[in-house]
Amino acid sequence: MVEITSPLLVASVLPADFAELGSQVRMIEKAGVDRIQWDVMDGCFVPNITIGPDVIAACRDQVDMGFEAHLMVADPDPMLSRWVEAGCGIVIVHAETTRHLHRTLGRIRELGARAGVALNPATPLAAVEHVLELVDLLLVMTVNPGFGGQSYIAGMEPKITAARAEIDRRGLEIELEVDGGIGASTIGAAARAGARVFCAGSALFDGPGRMADRVLAMRTAAEREIA
Ligand code: DX5
């Protein structure tokens, strides 16, 4: 089993300037971020509406970095292939939105992408207990999904720790990602809890200095806890 020891930083583009997405993703790549997360929201599963696959496809050739689609949508199954065709190497569905999660995760892999599953704060780890063999990325939400700029829910740390323990106990190669309120002041606690992949939006886009400086500060804070 290859365990991720160095933290991966993922940029949520929700806070990006949507009028300049091409230059924004180039800036993110230049700043040293490892992957981009596209927050897909349908106004049904979450009270916000964002982008579709065509927007992701339009940005695909602007950068070389990986794309993950975070599907905060009530019914992800009908459009699974569209996110892969748009250039996403990882497709993340919410455990709360699929009637047949085992089948959906297998379908994502059949499409040639890595399969991710996200858990809302109220959803127990047990929701994915019987499908972890089909999971390449487990996303533990540290906010209630729908908007950026919310506060990190530290109460999710026991779930992160339990997920880390279960992944390690089974010897699975699953990326354990956290998303929501992640920044220089919270990334250390999430890393201590067992997360190794950190998705941030406002902490990367907002604040003094350059994005590259904020990337370095977050990476350093996470590495300090992982070492
Ligand atoms: C929330 C999204 C998150 C959000 C992160 O629904 O899934 O990715 O954009 O934004 P921050 O880092 O500002 O909490």
Told to judge if 39 belongs to the known catalytic residues of this protein, a careful annotator would answer yes
Told to judge if 168 belongs to the known catalytic residues of this protein, a careful annotator would answer no
Q: Which domains does the chain have, with CATH numbers?
A: 8-226 (3.20.20.70)
Q: 143 CA distance to ligand 1 centroid (A)?
A: 8
Contact 121, 142 (CB under 8 A): yes
Of 146, 151, 215, nearest to 189 by C-alpha is: 151
Please, what sign has the CA dihedral across residues 194, 196, 197, 202? positive
Interaxial angle between packed helices 211-226 and 21-30, expressed in degrees from 0 to 180 and rounded to the nearest 10: 50
150 lines ligand 1 (CB under 6 A): yes
How would you classify residue 112: left for phi > 0, otherwise alpha for psi between -120 and 50, otherwise beta? left
> What are the pLDDT digits (tens) for 148-177?
999 999 999 999 999 999 999 999 999 999
> Among the atoms of ligand 1, which is closest to the Cα of residue 202?
13
The whole model's pTM is what?
0.97
pLDDT (mean) for 198-205: 98
Give residue 18's pLDDT band: very low, low, confident or very high (50, 70, 90).
very high
Q: 5 CA distance to ligand 1 centroid (A)?
A: 24
